[in-house]
Structure 1
Amino acid sequence: MKKSIKNTMKLLPALLLLALAEGNAVADSNKTPTDLDKMLVYISTTPFTPIDGTFMVDGMMGDGMHFQKEVLKRTDEEIAQDRNNAIDFFQSRFGISVTDPRVHFSGFEILPELEYRAVVISGENVPPKGWPVHDGGWMVIVMDPQGIDLGGEFAGTHVTPGTMFVHANYLIDKKPTPVLLNYQAKRPIVPDTYGSFQVNCEIFSEQYGNGQAIGGTLPVALPDGRMLINTRNIITFPPFGKTAAEILSVEAQ
């Protein structure tokens, strides 16, 4: 027994060095990339049962009020203001009137069953499973089989049916303090023939400043009737990195 204890004591320095090395490796993995102030990564890899073929609470008939009232804890007045802000945004950026019968306008909330999670927040010790991301807000979907012509910043651009536009929020259930990010579509979200789509959104955060999200969703129908939304989303602050931000700032002067 004494010999065993003695041998263990001899190993302690090596074990401590190994533990420190592993700790440093974890810390290094959480570091912010050199040209950024902050980086976040979201993923969804959990199968779920779709609602009328969608990944939204209550499907296409949902209004997103659970997200607004229960998740964001907004008052009726705050919800009405946010809705009006979204309507103004869709009109100014894309030239879309939400009363146009060729489009569908509504509130939305992404199904919690997707287990959309923030698995990386640079500078933070994120648990292996990540923190839950609540995703919801306001959207417009083109319903006309012929598509529509956009206006605003995209005047003259024709988009196909199923094209989406969003003005919404991410609430990351980070402990001990949640993180709220506001986002809005930088360009139309156009699905391809396989139902996949790329998302490019502007991000606004009181905590991190202005950023951008670039993500992709490649839905997979599973044999048991469930679906895998298969989303990967990378968010960076500032939007294009600090080097590009400096160049853009100089050119704007």
Structure 2
Amino acid sequence: MYKSINEQTSQYCSFFQCDKNLESNTSYLNLPSTRQELKAYEDRNQTHASIHQKGLSISSKDTFLLSTVVCSTKLTQNVDLLGLLKWRAEPDKIRQSLESLMKVDGEEVVKFLQDTLDALFSIMAENPQSEEYDRPVFNAVVFIIGLIADRKYQQFRPVLDTYINEHYSVTFADHKLAKVLKDLLDSAGELDSPTQLLQALKAIEYLFKFILRSRKLFVALHGEATGRQGFEPGFESSIREVFRPSTG
């Protein structure tokens, strides 16, 4: 038997044997559970007798190591990811936070997938007329899509689909994402390394899911007529331009 340990640490815990009539008794919880506590207990009582009298016997040879980690499913402890999630607190470090995301362990990113994507598109939404952060946000989105494509995290693919269909809310990201993709394709011959382009092409399925979802949200907000007469030509043009370098 052992007493619960709530600290974020490692402890060598003690084993106790008990009589059957004590199986539903919780008095053992007040007994020493670790080597350190047991030593202090013995020093006070000078013997194991008091433990035996409670119907418990302690094994002096057997112990086991219990390691506990305090974690949160809502608040990350990763400094780089936390900097991105709280980007409004330090707006002058947005670019640094976006670049630092690429260094974060994939397991931490997928754990906070919705919060991370919300932060990325909030940065884009905060600067609708500016292109300053369009490329780094695009790269970060591609990075996340690439993680989900990895076999290790493929179980999060439905989570990403749910996010796009139910939580994503930026109405003009289609033009921004399409433009960055177009620029990347146009400059393909000038790139020192094709890695960035290849990563974007591998992520193109979900990039277009974001683009199309953004388009649908725009139409839902402004109406079908506005979408067809005022916005549709520009939307179609931006999509055509994306593929022009690869088909022409």
Shorter-chain TM-score tier? under 0.3
Bigger relative contact order, structure 1 or 2, given CA contacts below 8 A and separation 6+? 1
TM-score (norm 2): 0.21
Structure 1 or 2: larger strand share?
1
Higher helix proportion (structure 1 or 2): 2
TM-score (norm 1): 0.21
**Structure whose alpha-carbon radius of gyration is higher:** 2
